[in-house]
Amino acid sequence: MVWTWVTTQDLERARVGLEDIEALIDLVRTADVADVAVVLKQQSDGRYRVSMRSKGASDVGAVATRLGGGGHALAAGFTSADGDPRATIEEIVGALRGA
């Protein structure tokens, strides 16, 4: 799994909004080293909107459903329970192992 996150401070420094980084997941998923790509985008309430993509070996839809979101096997998402991106990544890794 490869991942990155973007904070509200990052967005402010770059003078962009969440809508301006929607395609970031497409860049992250080009990494050849992993089946799953994840991007966490911090919202104004501090929580993260999480986008996940799979190249086929992992069912990210099942992972997102476990974590309160939805989608399908190759593209899915959810909103984190809190504002801790590292804890959210750990939850995703745990759900992937259990999927």
92: its two tokens: 């995703």
Mean pLDDT of 31-39: 94
- DSSP structure class, residue 80: -
Q: Count of CB atoms within 10 A of residue 33's CB?
A: 6
Q: How confident is the model at residue 98 (pLDDT cuts 50, 70, 90)?
A: confident
Three-class DSSP category at 18: helix
In the block, residue with structure tokens 């259990």: 98
- pTM of the shown model: 0.92
Is pLDDT of 87 > 80? yes
Residue 21 tokens read as: 């980084």
* Neighbour-count burial of 23, counting CB atoms closer than 10 A to its CB (0-12 exposed, 13-18 middle, 19+ buried): exposed
* Mean pLDDT confidence for 37-43: 97
Q: Are 16 and 4 in contact (CB under 8 A)?
A: no
Domain ranges of the chain: 2-98
Q: Where are the alpha helices (DSSP H) in the chain?
A: 8-14, 24-28, 60-66, 85-98
What topology is assigned to 2-98 in CATH? Answer: Diaminopimelate Epimerase; Chain A, domain 1 (3.10.310)
